[in-house]
Amino acid sequence: MKRLGGEYYQPEEGGALGEAYAPFLHAVERLCPEVLKSLRDEVRESLESLEDEDLLSFWRSEDRYPDELILEAWAERFNINVPWILGVANDTLEVWWKHPDTMEPLQWMWWLGPGYPRACAWLELRTAPFTFGGEAWLPIKERRQVFVERTRAAFERELGAYVEGIGRLAQDAGLEKTPEKRKLVHFDWLVHYQVQGWSMRKIADHYSGEGVLSEDTIAKGVRQAAKLVGLKLRPPRKGGRPKGKPPN
């Protein structure tokens, strides 16, 4: 079984809904990169006419995004116009504005923007990279296999202690274990249907190599995933991609 997002999550950032953000965003990145490409090449460029002070005033105000109409129009084109996605897009735009080098590779800057959960920021400041300082091998004194086994055992002990320590820090910061979920593929189906404009039949055919899937099975999974991320499903006959761009 796989987990949604990371090993821990911050419950006050959206509860069960917040747990589904990461797998949905990752599915969009992987399956439909033109969403982020449009955000970078169209929305970001449309904001370049604003002065730096104006952008900062927008980003520092609550419940307001830089040029809301442009951002909402972008979200409407991909059928993802819900407040939390607008917030993630806004965070991403701000990070790109402050750090242009982060625009490649294209990815959501959710965890780096102003919406970065407080507990996660606290945790990041208090964690150090894992390092292992094993002893040198002296082949004149020790057989190779003995050294390898001894070093591997020491590595496993130190790695285990490190992971357990970070886990305790996460819990001290108020984070909770992310519940397990078997059907992460449902988020892929949702992106195919909602963003790319695929039909349930096309999705079922695409995943036919993983077993026989009916349109009803696909539709049920899509509805469940949409509920988890708070998306209202598009009408069946409405394409989910921007006008002028044919589906794959």
pLDDT digits (tens, 9 = 90+) for 6-27: 677 665 444 444 567 888 998 9
Same domain? For 247 and 192 the reply is yes
| Residue 142 pLDDT class (50, 70, 90 cuts) | very high
Q: Give the whole-angstrom CA distance, residue 246 versus residue 197.
A: 9
Q: Is residue 156 part of a domain?
A: yes
pLDDT at residue 109, rounded to an integer: 83
Q: Is residue 21 part of a domain?
A: no
Question: Which whole number is the average pLDDT over 121-137?
Answer: 81
Residue finishing a domain among 159, 177, 195: 177
| Residue 1 pLDDT class (50, 70, 90 cuts) | very low
Q: Which of 120, 109, 85, 124 is nearest to 12 (CA)?
A: 120
Q: Is residue 14 part of a domain?
A: no
pLDDT digits (tens, 9 = 90+) for 186-232: 999 999 999 999 999 999 999 988 776 899 999 999 999 999 889 99
pLDDT digits (tens, 9 = 90+) for 67-83: 567 889 999 999 999 98
Q: Is residue 69 part of a domain?
A: no
Q: Is residue 162 part of a domain?
A: yes
Same domain? For 135 and 193 the reply is no
pLDDT at residue 52, rounded to an integer: 56
Same domain? For 169 and 222 the reply is no
pLDDT at residue 120, rounded to an integer: 62
Which range marks the domain in which residue 228 is found? 183-248
pLDDT at residue 58, rounded to an integer: 52
SS3 176: strand
Q: Is residue 23 part of a domain?
A: no
Same domain? For 173 and 212 the reply is no
**Which tokens belong to 20?**
């589904």
| Residue 119 pLDDT class (50, 70, 90 cuts) | low
Q: Domain count of the chain?
A: 2
The Cβ of residue 237 has, within 10 Å, a number of other Cβ atoms equal to: 7
Sequence-ordered list of residues with C-beta below 8 angstroms from that of 35, at least 6 positions apart, any chain: 28, 78, 80, 195
Query: Full-prediction pTM beyond 0.75?
Result: no
Residue 103: pLDDT over 60: yes
Same domain? For 173 and 200 the reply is no
Q: Is residue 141 part of a domain?
A: yes
Q: How many residues does the chain have?
A: 248
Residue 84: pLDDT over 60: yes
Can you give 4-34 as a three-state secondary structure string? Answer: CCCCEECHHHCHHHHHCHHHHHHHHHHHCCH
Rounded mean pLDDT of the chain? 80
Same domain? For 197 and 159 the reply is no
- The amino acid that residue 180 corresponds to is E
Q: Is residue 246 part of a domain?
A: yes
